[in-house]
């Protein structure tokens, strides 16, 4: 029996998107490698070769029902999967950027808090030094989270 062999191909560079597109149209992908993959769809198993960014199927054009009509929608399904992947990557990049911004803001807040505490300690030391120079004793109390310095006249 002779045949006229034809090849139908779809350009699909990203293997992950290609497999997702195949699953979207109802195919079950098995036995994958860099050069080919086995696809089961419509009760038949097809071997798709992968070369130069194209997934291709060879079929006998003279044999009735041998044309892989399911490949007609594969290009659109692949384009949709590529779009979804790009959106996922953009969101991930945005979240990464936001995380970096959050970290920068958190660092800035920590620096501000450290500077605030250093200022409080400096002012406290200055007040204590001046009070002692004037003959006062200093009592330190904490009320509602605030430090209070009470000056008591000595002798």
Segment 112-148, tens digit of pLDDT: 888 888 888 888 898 899 999 999 998 988 888 788 8
Q: Residues 149, 128: contact at Cβ < 8 Å? A: yes
Whether 75 is covered by a domain: the verdict is: yes
Query: How many structural domains is the chain composed of?
Result: 1
Whether 44 is covered by a domain: the verdict is: yes
Whether 37 is covered by a domain: the verdict is: yes
Mean pLDDT across 59-79: 83
CATH number for the domain spanning 48: value is 3.30.310
| Structural domain for 59, as ranges | 5-87
Whether 133 is covered by a domain: the verdict is: no
pLDDT in tens, 54-68: 888 888 877 777 778
Whether 117 is covered by a domain: the verdict is: no
Whether 115 is covered by a domain: the verdict is: no
pLDDT in tens, 15-60: 889 999 999 999 999 888 888 889 999 888 888 888 888 888 888 8
Would the pTM of this model clear 0.85, i.e. be above it?
no
Whether 72 is covered by a domain: the verdict is: yes
Mean pLDDT across 99-105: 80
Whether 55 is covered by a domain: the verdict is: yes
Position 50 scores a pLDDT of 85
């Amino acid at each position: 029996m002779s045949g006229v062999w034809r090849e139908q191909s779809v350009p699909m560079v990203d293997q992950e998107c290609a497999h997702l597109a195949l699953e979207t149209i109802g195919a079950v992908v098995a036995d994958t490698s860099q050069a080919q993959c086995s696809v089961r769809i419509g009760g038949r198993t097809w071997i798709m070769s992968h070369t130069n960014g194209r997934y291709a199927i060879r079929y006998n054009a003279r044999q009735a029902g041998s044309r892989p009509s399911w490949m007609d929608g594969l290009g659109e399904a692949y384009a949709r999967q590529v779009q979804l992947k790009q959106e996922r990557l953009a969101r991930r990049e945005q979240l990464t950027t936001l995380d970096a911004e959050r970290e920068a803001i958190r660092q800035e807040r920590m620096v501000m808090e450290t500077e605030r505490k250093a200022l409080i300690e400096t002012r406290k030391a200055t007040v204590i030094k001046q009070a002692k120079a004037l003959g006062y004793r200093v009592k330190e109390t904490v009320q509602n989270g605030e430090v209070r310095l009470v000056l008591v006249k000595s002798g």
